Structure 1
């Protein structure tokens, strides 16, 4: 029986931890979401995926749960992460400002954005209390005052700059203490689902990669709606790392005429869309070929919104907590 039939109200957290080179630490954080202090499994929580990248030294842990359980699960994972990760010792090519860098909450089934925002805010307050010395900024539907997006908040904090250029003591936080070097500052927020899609270029030309990343950003004319992109040197090639944000569907004629480029889904009766990974790959390939560069592959970091919902329904209804370990052997 699926969670849809049971009427479970599901949400997900794609927790971004600044650690990928110590697998045991990453899995300790994941298991902290699944088990309480007495070692009892939380029956309405599952970890669907762990994506770790050595060069980035960053892991994305996909935690899915009922909305009533997600707060406790994610809080436990964050507390464990702060115990295990010292940002002073962190080295990696991906930008970060926190040992636990990002804690976004996304609705999956029968849950609204405002409720996810309240859950994200509650988690932030609990973590700030449980981990003395940690610092928090809020974004999206957890930012009650301005509902500033993650990109806006990150720009204001200098997240896109080199860590060596940032004075943590000058960063403006929303909760907790002045950011310290060990914990840094962590973003907690809520928004429609954000997918991560990375496209590799068969080149070592970082300038060419940055040119392509700029061209596809939604903030630039001709860019892809909802797409944020950065270019990195990665495994001897260049990777275009894309955050693909969902956006509310409109009746715009131009958008309708290009509907094949988008994937749609529903949140509490409201339709949202995001640019399809295939279209992102095609656009990057076209831009790369203009510079005489081929693409060398595309990878999703986790799942699309639909996949995340479907897998969460299956894992929770069958009480499969450590789904990331058992996915290949699970019959669905």
Structure 2
């Protein structure tokens, strides 16, 4: 049954928090998203997935809900996270600036990107009211009128290298408090996370491969942002895979270079995870090394929509449990 027949207007938040080594803390943050103010489980909210990486000390919690309910659910999860995570003590190889590092809102079905931007801006105002010391930067549809992308904002703020955020200037809120740090909040078409591990410990080689597949490279992959990190004794090429508008998008197979999907009549495409893996494998092979595995952090856009519809139709709040959430 389609979401339109269900009468649902769905959006998702892939909440990025700077904690992965205390599983109980991460799960408590996820569970907070499911509760209404009266303590009852909200019937139109589901946590679809929890992905935690110990080396990165970072978790991504996928929260899906009716667009009218998503803001309150994400707010509840953030309040729990800010109480539980102290950036003064946080350690991990993945870049981060905040205890709640990133709050991206994505449309899934029956919702526009602009409406998700309004949800993000409203959520930003709520966070400032409820979290003393909360500092925010905006991106995408929440960053009006410029609508600067997350990549642009991260470069401006030195997110890729900075750990001292005392001199940062937030868009909203006071100067970042050492405990909370700086949180990014915004909205855009769906962004997928896809990581490929190469059989090497040479970070320089990993950085070469990451640079070669970035969309900003002449022969790179459109919409792909890539970094290389030490990971479990090897090197992981971590990719953010952005969806982009495509007026001629058609349904494609997983083996194609691009995958297509539509939201509210708008057509989008993104690079296939299989194609990303194949390109990394080729580039690694050219350097005499192989690849070990590929990890999709959560879902493709289509999978996220389908799982959200099912979980909410069946009132499965802790969907990640039956899906088998991954803790690494």
Q: What TM-score do the two structures reach when normalised by structure 2?
A: 0.95
Aligned 8 A contact 2:189 2:243 in 1:
yes
Q: 1:221 aligns with which of 215, 218, 221?
A: 218
Aligned 8 A contact 1:56 1:93 in 2:
yes
Q: Which residue of 2 aligns with 1:27?
A: 27
Q: Which residue of 1 aligns with 2:40?
A: 40
Q: Which residue of 2 aligns with 1:49?
A: 49
- After the TM superposition, list the runs of 4 or more consecutive aligned residues in structure 1 that deviate by more than 6 angstroms: none
Aligned residues: 321
Q: Which string of whole-angstrom CA distances, capped at 9 and with x for unpartnered residues, describes residues 72-106 of structure 1?
A: 10011111110110000100000000000000000
1:239 is paired with a residue of what secondary structure? strand
Q: Which residue of 2 aligns with 1:293?
A: 289
CA drift of 1:14 comes to: 0.1
Q: Which residue of 2 aligns with 1:147?
A: 147
Task: List aligned pairs for 1:294-313, cutoff 5 A.
Answer: 294-313=290-309
Q: Which residue of 2 aligns with 1:179?
A: 176
Flag the 1:320–1:17 CA change in 2: closer, same or farther, 3 A.
same
CA drift of 1:250 comes to: 4.6
Is the aligned partner of 1:248 residue 2:245?
yes
Task: List aligned pairs for 1:95-110, cutoff 5 A.
Answer: 95-110=95-110
Aligned 8 A contact 2:65 2:308 in 1:
yes
Question: Equivalents in 1 of 2:37, 2:143: separation in Å?
Answer: 30
Higher normalized helix content (fraction of residues):
1
Q: Which residue of 1 aligns with 2:80?
A: 80
Question: Equivalents in 1 of 2:95, 2:143: separation in Å?
Answer: 22
1:240 is paired with a residue of what secondary structure? strand
Question: Equivalents in 2 of 1:40, 1:110: separation in Å?
Answer: 26
Q: Which string of whole-angstrom CA distances, capped at 9 and with x for unpartnered residues, describes residues 289-330 of structure 1?
A: 1100100010100000000000000000110000101235xx
2:48 is paired with a residue of what secondary structure? strand
Aligned 8 A contact 2:97 2:162 in 1:
no
1:179 is paired with a residue of what secondary structure? coil
Q: Which residue of 2 aligns with 1:269?
A: 265
Aligned 8 A contact 2:58 2:94 in 1:
yes
Question: Equivalents in 2 of 1:87, 1:260: separation in Å?
Answer: 41
CA drift of 1:172 comes to: 1.8
Q: Which residue of 2 aligns with 1:67?
A: 67
Question: Equivalents in 2 of 1:298, 1:282: separation in Å?
Answer: 10
Q: What TM-score do the two structures reach when normalised by structure 1?
A: 0.94
Q: 1:231 aligns with which of 228, 232, 239?
A: 228
